[in-house]
Structure 1
Amino acid sequence: MAALPAMRQLGCLRSLMRTPKFSPMHLSSRFISTVYSKKPEPIPFPQNLPQQFRSQIPIRLQPEQAPKKMKVYPPPPSSRAVCKDPVAHVAQSQMAVLDPNGERKALFDYRRNPRSVKPGDIVRVTFKNGDPFNGVVLSIRLRGVDTSVLLRNELTRVPVEMSVKTFSPNVQSVEIIQRSQRKTRRARLYYMRFVLELLGSPPENLLQFRALY
């Protein structure tokens, strides 16, 4: 009885000691592999085929029906050769109508023209319809035809800001009332809103405004 636990560990070897039994199905099994063959060549169309058999052949396979050539149409003429930059061309044509002499453009081109309107100046804008507007220039937005200037003033003790399109047909004239005595370091003087609220209207308190500014 003491030898039984020792023999149990060798019980897995019994399956190896048995003789294998092959069945007829196992002996006749074969491995299947795929063999790639060449594409068969097309069978030539018979030459002496009777006419009654031709009707049974599809029309697309008959020798008389040759493949039709596809029509290739040339591309339409490109408009890029006529005008490479249509947006710039339209802007230039509008500028020729709104500002033919270029005076209004030079008046607000503060980057190149030293005598132009600069941020901090007090200007007077006269319209064809409506009352004129005086104000301090807070910023100048250079965008070609869409160039605009932001003015700030105080009407009846209420701060008012107006964005004026410089090339608008409604703008009759732009006059510089007073230039800034100091050269501004910024192109947008939004911090001056708090100064103008303390001083009031720029034309009324011009001397006091210049002393603080």
Structure 2
Amino acid sequence: MAALPSMRPLGCLRSLIGLQDAVQPQITRRFISTAYSPKPKRVPLPPNLPQQFLSQLPERLQPREDSKRVKVYPAPPSTRKVCKDPIAKVTESQMAIHDPKGERKALFDYRRNPRSVKPGDILRVTFKNGDPFNGVALSIKLRGIDTSVLLRNELTRVAVEMSVKVFSPNVQSVEIVQRAERPARRARLYFMRSRKHDRRSVENLVGAYIRQKRAFLGGNRRK
């Protein structure tokens, strides 16, 4: 049903009412904040104040004759002047305990000692608790008291690697069974893990070394 011509002005009025409802007046908000005021200093009481006036003061403002000052101790002396490098001091103390003569340190210092252990040598490490381990030295990590050597061997046709801490209290001795035929060009011989360059088992070389060592020691004893 079409709208009558007389109802058209009312329709315009209705659209104006809806527009006024959509427009909402903006609400302004005001915040009240107090300014910071520092704590007032305590005013000393006048001398010779009668006791009747002192009793009217709160307890926190009454004078106390037995009040004692807190004793302030000086700061402890700094250890930076005494020990500038604590890690080096701890390392030296541990080296003096586990390697007092410095023989094992010189044995693995391949950068300075030409007769030291080098990557590619066959070593025999004897422990205080446990069986000895034999293997080829793949890498040597010089880290002070944490110096370690990585050995690789083959036991029952299974490749086995062991990282030995040189200065561990459990390590009794480290012996060089056989030197490398030629000096290695790398500090880490990880390529020997491949089937092409793997040395396989070194038990036969270690066994020959032990027999030769026993014969040499036995000959000295007879003399």
TM-score interval w.r.t. the shorter chain?
A: 0.5 to 0.7
* 2:194 counterpart SS class: helix
- What CA distance in whole angstroms lies between the structure 1 residues aligned with 2:199 and 2:187? 22
Change (3 A) 1:183 1:199: closer
Residue pairs, 1:116-135, within 5 angstroms: 116-135=116-135
Q: Which has the larger radius of gyration?
A: 1
> In structure 1, what is the equivalent of residue 171 of structure 2?
171
Change (3 A) 1:77 1:180: same
- What CA distance in whole angstroms lies between the structure 2 residues aligned with 1:127 and 1:196? 31
In structure 1, stretches of 5+ residues that fail to align are 1-70, 207-213
- What CA distance in whole angstroms lies between the structure 2 residues aligned with 1:105 and 1:118? 13
- What CA distance in whole angstroms lies between the structure 2 residues aligned with 1:197 and 1:81? 53
- Is the 1:146–1:167 Cα contact (8 Å) retained in structure 2? yes
TM-score (norm 1): 0.61
Q: Aligned Cα RMSD in Å?
A: 3.6
> In structure 2, what is the equivalent of residue 201 of structure 1?
201
Change (3 A) 1:172 1:198: closer
Identity %: 75
- Is the 1:159–1:197 Cα contact (8 Å) retained in structure 2? no
- What CA distance in whole angstroms lies between the structure 2 residues aligned with 1:96 and 1:204? 36
Name the count of aligned residue pairs: 166
- Is the 1:196–1:202 Cα contact (8 Å) retained in structure 2? no
The question of 1:89 aligning with 2:103 is answered no
- Is the 1:124–1:175 Cα contact (8 Å) retained in structure 2? yes
- Is the 2:192–2:199 Cα contact (8 Å) retained in structure 1? no
- Is the 1:123–1:136 Cα contact (8 Å) retained in structure 2? yes
- What CA distance in whole angstroms lies between the structure 2 residues aligned with 1:79 and 1:154? 51
In structure 2, stretches of 5+ residues that fail to align are 1-70, 207-223
- What CA distance in whole angstroms lies between the structure 2 residues aligned with 1:185 and 1:163? 21
- What CA distance in whole angstroms lies between the structure 1 residues aligned with 2:81 and 2:199? 58
- What CA distance in whole angstroms lies between the structure 2 residues aligned with 1:151 and 1:196? 18
What is the CA distance between 1:202 and its match in structure 2? 2.8
The question of 1:142 aligning with 2:145 is answered no
